[in-house]
Amino acid sequence: MNNKKKQILWNIAYVLVVVGIGYFIYISSSKVNYIWRWKNVPSFIVYKAHEDIESPVKGIVEDYKNKTVYIKTLDGKIKTIKVEHPEVKKGDVVDTTDEIGYNESYKSGPLLVGLYMTLKISFLAIIAAIIIGLITGLMRISSNPLLKNLAITYIELIRGTPLLVQIFIFYFFIGTVFHLDRLVAGVGALAVFEGAYIAEIIRAGIQSIDKGQREAAISLGMNYYQLMRYIIMPQAIKRTLPATAGQFISLIKDSSLVSVISITDLTKAGREIITSTFSPFEIWFTVAAMYLILTYTLSLFTQYLERRMAKGE
Amino acid sequence: MNSIIEIKNVYKTYPNGIEALKDINLEIDKGEVVVVIGASGSGKSTLLRTINQLEIVDKGQIIVDGVDVTNPKTKLTTIRSEIGMVFQHFNLFPHLTVLDNVTLAQIIVKKRNKKEAEDIAMSLLTKVGIADKSDVYPTQLSGGQQQRVAIARALAMKPKIMLFDEATSALDPEMVGEVLDVMKSLAKEGMTMVVVTHEMGFAKEVSDRIVFMDYGKIVETGTPDTIFTSAKSERLRQFLSQIL
């Protein structure tokens, strides 16, 4: 009981500290001469598009119902035009290209478009990184020196150089030689980079499986593929799930670096908005929050998977 | 020629320099139960594991059911599926249920259909007295139960030979009996068995022949009677006096 009280006390302390830090940030930001314009921010995520509708014909407005304007042309035909907000009345005479009203619709703002690009790049890179990591991880533990050394060279090269530099090399060198689209170069650089880390995770996972599992499987007559597919990998993947998920979260965050080769991902979208609005604080906070939503969702999903998989044992 | 296993002039040295097997020669007949005894480190487990080539030999020849398993060109998966093996630490697949443990290799190696594999699995699980646990995962079973599942898993492949590598050594004393009982009934059915064990009672009661190994060599072989009552070598008498 006493212990429980202590826990509550410390949790209250936690809330106070967080609020305190928030207050400190607020105070310090109010000291700089900066005008906060939070109310503009939502429009960069979703905005209401205004589309003027022009009359395609010359004629007289006959009627308006069901969000449709009926125009009677000079030769007596009825022309129907969808308009949600008409600005003409019954009996008005309209000429071609005269404005008869406008439509409104919700459109994705640049940040949401950028978020979609970040998701797309990350998703493609994760798939490719899994394939690269799986193959390299298996090569890494192979007894064949060619495969093993190739894998080690790749892993060491990639892990020993910065991702930013790799993206430049991928785009400016490999991209130029093979005429790669910037998106392909970006996804490729990310996949090659994260693949090296996933290879090491997979290697560690496979090596952590008791050697008796291998012996039991091959003594039953399984070949290498069957051993890996049915015995080793299911156990290794389960064991490495937390580390792999961490790597995927890293990948989503690292994907912000592809903005340097002019891919309009979430980060680049943020930068572009800032050049026109001069509201860097709000935009960067919003961009950070959007990344956090992505990574936290992935983190929750992994926790769910772990719990579900843990039931087996 | 009735022998199903022929081991000829086999040598094996581990990378750390330990000579595990030195000039081993042994023939085992069909239906014979051979128990290999010896102190730990005498090479008895290594010898057993060379029969299905879990250990690759350096020199010599091993022929199992007419197939030279020491020939690098031999496709080992086929012959291995015909040699059942039971390990000291069971080595059940922890991510699969008991039933799946017994059916998996039947389906993917022997290409039996699921229904057939499950029927065989259930009849074997019944035989080893564990049919009611077919849906649980191995970690929920006791050691003795796990080992009986492991025996059923090996038997499901319809092997011609069964190898037991200290199958009862990792068990709590009260569970040794249940596993030995399964092994005894197998022996009675005429299964060819090679058993590495410290259970001298089992060796006396069930085996047709006992092989005593010491420092990588076969020192003496004989029927249980001759081994236990009139051992020729001093080393064997010493070993028996320590263990009995």
A219 touches chain B (CB under 8 A): yes
Check whether B244 has a pLDDT greater than 80: no
Position B44, amino acid: K
With residue B217 as reference, give the H or E element that holds it: strand B217-222
The low-confidence residues of chain A, meaning pLDDT below 70, are 1, 311-313
Task: Please report residues of A whose CB lies closer than 8 A to that of B170.
Answer: none
Q: Do the beta carbons of residue A145 and residue A134 sit within 8 Å?
A: no
Cβ distance A213 to B91 less than 8 Å, yes or no, reads yes
- Give residue-wise pLDDT tens across range B161-202: 999 999 999 999 899 999 999 999 999 999 999 999 999 999
Among the partner residues B89, B153, B154, nearest to A212 by beta-carbon distance? B89
Q: Which residues contact B23 (CB under 8 A, 6 or more apart)?
A: B9, B10, B11, B60, B217
Q: Average of pLDDT values for B225-233?
A: 90
Give bridge partners of residue B220 from the DSSP assignment: B212
Among the partner residues A221, A226, A231, nearest to B93 by beta-carbon distance? A231
- Give residue-wise pLDDT tens across range B2-16: 789 999 999 999 999
What share of chain B in percent tops pLDDT 90?
87
> What pLDDT sits at residue A83?
84
Residues in chain A: 313
What share of chain A in percent tops pLDDT 90?
61
Q: Are strands B192-196 and B161-165 parallel, antiparallel or unpaired?
A: parallel
Cβ distance B54 to A230 less than 8 Å, yes or no, reads no
pTM of the predicted structure, to 2 decimals:
0.80
Cβ distance B109 to A222 less than 8 Å, yes or no, reads yes
Burial class (CB in 10 A: 0-12, 13-18, 19+), A272: middle
Q: What is residue B18's DSSP assignment?
A: -
Q: Which residue of B has its CA nearest to A237?
A: B95
Would you say the ipTM is above 0.85?
Answer: yes
Main-chain dihedrals φ then ψ at residue A282, nearest 5 degrees: -60, -45
B24 CA: distance to closest CA in chain A (Å): 22
A312 touches chain B (CB under 8 A): yes
Query: In angstroms, what CA-CA distances link B219 with B14, B181, B233?
Result: 21, 29, 8
Q: Which residues contact A260 (CB under 8 A, 6 or more apart)?
A: A164, A167, A168
Angle A203-A208-A211 (CA atoms, 0-180°, nearest 5)?
110
Task: Please report residues of A whose CB lies closer than 8 A to that of B104.
Answer: 220, 230
Among the partner residues B77, B92, B93, nearest to A223 by beta-carbon distance? B77
Cβ distance A220 to B139 less than 8 Å, yes or no, reads no
